[in-house]
Amino acid sequence: MKDVRPIRTPDDLEWALAEVEPYFDHPPQPNSPEADRFDILSDLIEAYENRTVDLPAADPIDLLTFYMQTTGRSQADLAEVLGSRPRASEVLRRKRALTLDMINRIRQAWHIPADSLIAPYALVA
């Protein structure tokens, strides 16, 4: 297999990213040595990023809003899940905190992990 090496520094990461980039334009044949190389480099990149990149926890309302935008859902859809249009509006405007019942309804309807929605966040007075 071509030169695969550990990723220990940002320079190593840049090298690995440059090595896998061509595979996105021209995917290797499954079960080929090039496919194995792509998988190994991808795993090394992921492991390095997991060790070095510290992402802050997402704010529950930002996460909910992002989820709605990326899945084409609207405030009306959230109102259907929560059982009330005013409640959905208040939640999205940060006038009302998510309750455990609301979090459970969202989890069941949209399969968003409850862990992502239970963090405290600031409300608007």
As for how many domains the chain has, the answer is 2
> For the segment 65-123, what is each residue's pLDDT rounded down to a tens digit?
999 999 999 999 999 999 999 999 999 999 999 999 999 999 999 999 999 999 999 99
Cα 44 from Cα 5, distance rounded (Å): 9
Shared domain check, 66 and 108: yes
Shared domain check, 46 and 16: yes
pTM of the model: 0.58
In a domain, 5, yes or no: no
Shared domain check, 64 and 48: no
> For the segment 112-125, what is each residue's pLDDT rounded down to a tens digit?
999 999 999 999 98
State which residues form the domain around 81. 60-116
In a domain, 125, yes or no: no
Give percent helix, percent strand, percent coil of the chain, each to the nearest 5.
60, 0, 40
Shared domain check, 84 and 109: yes
CATH of the domain at 99: 1.10.260.40
